[in-house]
């Protein structure tokens, strides 16, 4: 089975990818030599990252996460399809389960979906204020607050759409729960259908759900087509509860994958 991990930057996708990889699902190469998250090891399949950069029209040298926030649609060029199929073919040759995590896939997933074989989606989201703080947004950087919340909203909308379209082949997790309790960890195990290696480290959960810029910037966003992030967070919470309920009603989910 193929597993695609979707989520905004700084939202727990690295943790999910690491757990899957350590549990026998090939999420990429060279991770074990890259140190921890604080050393820059993001547990991303590099081939998927480079393809996403191409889809976004960006070079690796000039890439900064918040510069890219619009969903990418349109037609795939033949060379782009060829690169996608090449990556898929190389991953399939191992004969086992595999997948990839790369946040830009929230924006490019409609294109990937056209080329990928049958697969499953794991979405993970995080409180937007905590994400703001990870980007070091302070009172002196109001423009950066807007950029973070704009990206957070668009990435999570893309992830939500993928989950809606995928139905029972999708799971949505909340990073805070994944770090603080076993509810979402157990749900991920059930969805994957195997015992997961628990690599959670409470010391790496540096959370602060307060930021003086969130309120005023969010009110301004409510006047724009983007809408209020708090409303979107409510939709994410409702979707997580819905997938949680469907898992409880379907004890066979995750088996035989």
Cα-flanking dihedrals φ and ψ of residue 4, to 5°?
-105, 120
Residues 31 and 18 sit within 8 Å (Cβ to Cβ): yes
Q: Name the one residue in this structure whose structure tokens are 């905590």.
A: 130
CATH number 3.20.19 given to 2-249 = no
The whole-number pLDDT of residue 160 equals 96
Cβ neighbours for 245, distance < 8 A, ≥ 6 positions apart: none
Which residues are within 8 A (CB) of 191 and not within 5 positions of it... i.e. 6 or more apart?
120, 122, 171, 247, 253, 254
- Residue 36's pLDDT is 58
pLDDT at 245: 66
With beta carbons less than 8 A apart as the criterion, state whether 31 and 43 touch.
yes
Ranges of residues in the chain with a pLDDT under 70 are 32-41, 245-257
Residue 244: its pLDDT value, please?
A: 75
Of 143, 182, 57, 40, the residue nearest 107 (C-alpha): 57
The pLDDT of residue 35: 57
Domain boundaries, the chain: 2-249
For CA atoms 60, 65, 67, 71, the dihedral sign is positive
The answer to whether 113 and 18 have CB atoms below 8 angstroms apart is no
Q: What is the pLDDT of residue 31?
A: 75
What are residue 2's DSSP bridge partners? Answer: 98
Helix axes 142-166, 229-249, angle to 10 degrees: 30
Q: How far apart are CA 212 and CA 255, in angstroms?
A: 46
Q: How far apart are CA 110 and CA 107, in angstroms?
A: 8
């Amino acid at each position: 089975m193929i597993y695609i991990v979707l989520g905004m930057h700084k939202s727990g996708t690295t943790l999910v990818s690491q757990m899957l990889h350590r549990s026998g699902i090939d999420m990429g190469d060279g991770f074990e030599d890259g140190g921890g998250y604080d050393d820059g090891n993001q547990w991303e399949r590099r081939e998927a990252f480079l393809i996403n950069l191409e889809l976004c029209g960006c070079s690796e040298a000039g890439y900064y996460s918040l510069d890219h926030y619009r969903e990418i649609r349109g037609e795939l060029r033949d060379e782009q399809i060829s690169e996608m199929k090449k990556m898929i073919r190389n991953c399939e040759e191992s004969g086992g389960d595999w997948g990839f995590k790369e946040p830009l896939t929230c924006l490019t997933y409609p294109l990937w979906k056209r080329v990928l074989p049958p697969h499953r989606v794991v979405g993970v989201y995080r409180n937007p204020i905590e994400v703001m703080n990870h980007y070091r947004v302070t009172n002196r950087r109001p423009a950066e607050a807007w950029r973070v919340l704009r990206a957070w909203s668009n990435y999570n909308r893309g992830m939500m759409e993928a989950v809606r379209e995928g139905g029972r082949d999708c799971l949505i997790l909340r990073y805070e729960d994944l770090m603080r309790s076993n509810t979402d960890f157990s749900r991920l195990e059930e969805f994957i259908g195997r015992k997961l290696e628990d690599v959670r480290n409470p010391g790496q959960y540096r959370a602060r759900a307060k930021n003086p810029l969130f309120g005023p910037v969010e009110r301004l966003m409510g006047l724009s087509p983007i809408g209020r992030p708090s409303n979107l967070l409510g939709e994410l919470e409702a979707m997580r509860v819905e997938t949680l309920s469907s898992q409880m009603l379907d004890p066979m989910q995750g088996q035989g994958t």
